[in-house]
């Protein structure tokens, strides 16, 4: 199929000084069991192309699901006409953007290895569902395995040819317990812990055998007291650090948001252009990287959707803000260096500045050392609620699972653990960072942004982290 696309692209005629083609094919299959009963499988397939042109420094684009030579030519001509129409309104001279010329072939790890068919996936889920204990307080449980494939070919008139073939696996388990007056849910994996790869993802995450533990923890939460309210130390596990990084570092550092592009829809940022190279974002233990090189992470890739090569860059180092999340166009507009994170959700969306793999680099303490350094605090894991203001500054997050920490030791389970803070101060309270033994790869396919809306995959890897004197509270507030 892609060989035919190459030939059709070469045959296109245009007066544009530069043009490109991005073809995307996506498939998804979800298998799910609820209370041990199989749900109908959910299957999707989608394919199309985006044609982009540059005329006299103005870029425009058009998308089509008609991949015939005539269909591609029509879309290209439509993009040309749009470029001519918007020329008098253009705010940026884009002729200075150097077109990408790289060739690349990139694929997810294990892509060539055998992968269970749909029937085998249902069998796997049934086997795990059978491990849920019989208890009348367990009123609902579900298990699912979502597998997605993403293939993309990018070609341009400067000679670039970039092919990427990616597979994503999302195994999830959830159990809800109810005692007549209170309900508690505990979960494992799911859309917050997706990874690139196939069957090895299940092994890496420890899917098999997890259902019984998830159910048991839901029952424990029913019997647990509410999280006590007050100002105390907070130990966040990696699956909650994912959301903390995403909301209070990732979105504020997206350069198009800082430039005002998202103001009407998703808000602005408490960060300004003048802050880069000056602003102390967090304590000297805070080191945040844009890293597309961790193979199993959701947003690992060789090039972004504008064809720019992706490589690891430090955004925050020693707590100092250095670099935004901005692709080539935003870099041109702002005069700031950025990263290769111009990304689109599909063939019918134009690339915009998006998070990709945004990671907190490991420190030097084991989990036992992190716990041992806390006199009084709370451990929290697995997000269940989030709220943050338009500038991505003031926030309040809730978790599923809590444990008290007293005199350097883990104590009892607590339910409804929540905490709140202000991004501009919260990261400066970072007091300890876990080592590689606490480092975990997580990610979600549901990061929304842009008008029209785009939902993309982002990855977040992090160790466990300790924050001093954070406001925490239970379900009573």
CATH of the domain at 100: 3.30.2290.10
One domain for residues 177 and 262:
no
Residue 315: burial class (beta carbons within 10 Å; 0-12, 13-18, 19+): buried
- Residues 235 and 217 both lie in one domain: no
Please report which helix (H) or strand (E) contains residue 403, including its range. strand 394-406
**CB–CB of 166/28 below 8 Å?**
no
CA separation for the pair 297, 246 (Å, rounded): 14
Same domain, 208 and 288: no
CA-angle at 44, arms to 39 and 49, nearest 5°: 170
Provide the number of structural domains found in the chain: 2
CA–CA separation, 164 and 147 (whole Å): 17
Task: For the full predicted model, state whether its pTM sits above 0.85.
Answer: yes
Residues 204 and 240 grouped into a single domain: no
Q: Are residues 267 and 327 in the same domain?
A: yes
SS3 content of the chain, % helix, strand, coil (to 5): 25, 40, 35
Residues 169, 215: one domain? yes
Same domain, 215 and 265: no
CA 423 distance to own-chain centroid = 19
**Which CA distances in Å does 360 have to 279, 354, 434?**
18, 17, 10
Chosen domain end from 200, 223, 246: 223
Last residue of a domain, one of 202, 223, 244: 223
| Distances, alpha carbon 391 to alpha carbons 92, 254, 354, in Å | 25, 12, 16
On the 0-12 / 13-18 / 19+ scale of CB atoms within 10 A, 204 is: middle
Q: What is the DSSP string of 168-234?
A: EEEEEEEEEEE-SS-EEEEEEEGGGB-EESSHHHHHHHT-TTHHHHHHHHHHHHHHSPBPPPEEEEE
283 and 159 both lie in a single domain: no
Residue 214 and residue 267 share a domain? no
Q: Identify the CA nearest to 470 among candidates 379, 344, 387, 389.
A: 379
Give the span between the Cα atoms of 399 and 253, in whole angstroms. 24
Of 174, 202, 223, which residue sits at a domain end?
223
One domain, residues 291 and 350: yes
Pairing of strands 440-449, 352-353: unpaired
What string of pLDDT tens digits covers the 477 residues of the chain? 688 999 999 999 999 999 999 999 999 999 999 999 999 999 999 999 999 999 999 999 999 999 999 999 999 999 999 999 999 998 899 999 999 999 999 999 999 888 889 999 999 999 999 999 999 999 999 999 999 999 999 999 999 999 999 999 999 999 999 999 999 999 999 999 999 999 999 999 999 999 999 999 999 999 999 999 999 999 999 999 999 999 999 999 999 999 999 888 889 999 999 999 999 999 999 999 999 999 999 999 999 999 999 999 999 999 999 999 999 999 999 999 999 999 999 999 999 999 999 999 999 999 999 999 999 999 999 999 999 999 999 999 999 999 999 999 999 999 999 999 999 899 999 999 999 999 999 999 999 999 999 999 999 999 999 999 999 999 864
Cβ-based neighbours of 58, under 8 Å, separated by 6 or more: 83, 86, 87, 90, 94
Range of the domain at 307: 230-473
C-alpha 348: how far from its chain's center?
20
Could you identify the residue written with the tokens 């919260």? 426
Same domain, 210 and 253: no
Residue 39 and residue 124 in one domain = yes
Exposed, middle or buried by CB within 10 Å (0-12, 13-18, 19+), for 213? middle
């Amino acid at each position: 199929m892609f060989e035919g696309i190459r030939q059709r692209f070469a045959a296109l005629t245009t007066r544009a000084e530069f043009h490109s083609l991005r073809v995307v094919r996506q498939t998804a299959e979800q298998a799910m069991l609820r209370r041990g009963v199989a749900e109908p499988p959910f299957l999707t397939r989608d394919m199309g192309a985006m044609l982009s042109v540059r005329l006299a420094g103005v870029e425009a684009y058009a998308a089509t699901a008609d991949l015939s030579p005539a269909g591609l030519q029509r879309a290209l001509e439509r993009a040309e006409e749009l470029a001519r129409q918007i020329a008098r309104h253009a705010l940026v001279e884009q002729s200075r953007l150097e077109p990408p010329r790289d060739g690349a072939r990139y694929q997810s790890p294990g892509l060539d290895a055998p992968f269970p068919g749909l029937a085998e996936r249902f069998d796997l889920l049934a086997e795990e569902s059978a491990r849920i204990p019989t208890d009348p307080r367990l009123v609902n449980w579900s298990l699912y395995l979502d597998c997605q494939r993403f293939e993309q070919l990018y070609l341009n008139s400067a000679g670039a040819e970039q092919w990427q073939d990616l597979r994503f696996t999302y195994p999830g388990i959830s159990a809800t317990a109810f005692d007549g007056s209170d309900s508690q849910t505990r979960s494992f994996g799911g859309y917050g812990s997706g990874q690139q790869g196939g069957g090895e993802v299940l092994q890496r995450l420890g899917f098999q055998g997890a259902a019984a533990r998830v159910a048991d923890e839901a029952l424990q939460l029913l019997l647990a007291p509410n999280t006590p309210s007050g100002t105390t130390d907070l130990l966040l596990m990696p699956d909650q650090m994912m959301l903390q990084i995403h909301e209070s570092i990732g979105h504020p550092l997206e350069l198009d948001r800082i430039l005002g592009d998202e103001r009407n829809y998703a808000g602005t940022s408490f960060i300004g252009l003048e802050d880069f190279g000056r602003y102390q974002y967090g304590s000297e233990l805070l080191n945040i990287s844009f890293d597309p090189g961790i193979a199993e992470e959701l947003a690992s890739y060789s090039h972004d959707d504008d064809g720019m090569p992706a490589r690891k860059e430090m955004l925050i180092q020693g707590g100092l803000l250095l670099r935004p999340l901005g692709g080539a166009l935003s870099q041109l507009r702002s005069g700031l260096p950025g990263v290769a994170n111009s990304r689109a959700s599909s063939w019918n969306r134009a690339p915009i500045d998006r998070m990709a793999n945004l990671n907190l680099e490991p420190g030097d303490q084991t989990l036992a050392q992190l716990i041992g350094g806390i006199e009084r605090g709370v451990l929290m894991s697995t997000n269940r609620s989030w709220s943050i203001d338009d500038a991505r500054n003031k926030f309040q997050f809730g978790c599923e699972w809590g444990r008290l920490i007293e005199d350097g030791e883990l104590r009892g389970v607590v339910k409804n653990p929540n905490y709140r803070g202000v991004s501009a101060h919260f990261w400066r309270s970072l007091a300890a960072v876990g080592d590689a033994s606490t480092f975990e790869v997580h990610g979600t396919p549901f990061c929304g942004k842009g008008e029209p809306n785009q939902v993309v995959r982002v990855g977040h890897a992090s160790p466990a982290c300790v924050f001093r004197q954070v406001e925490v509270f239970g379900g009573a507030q």
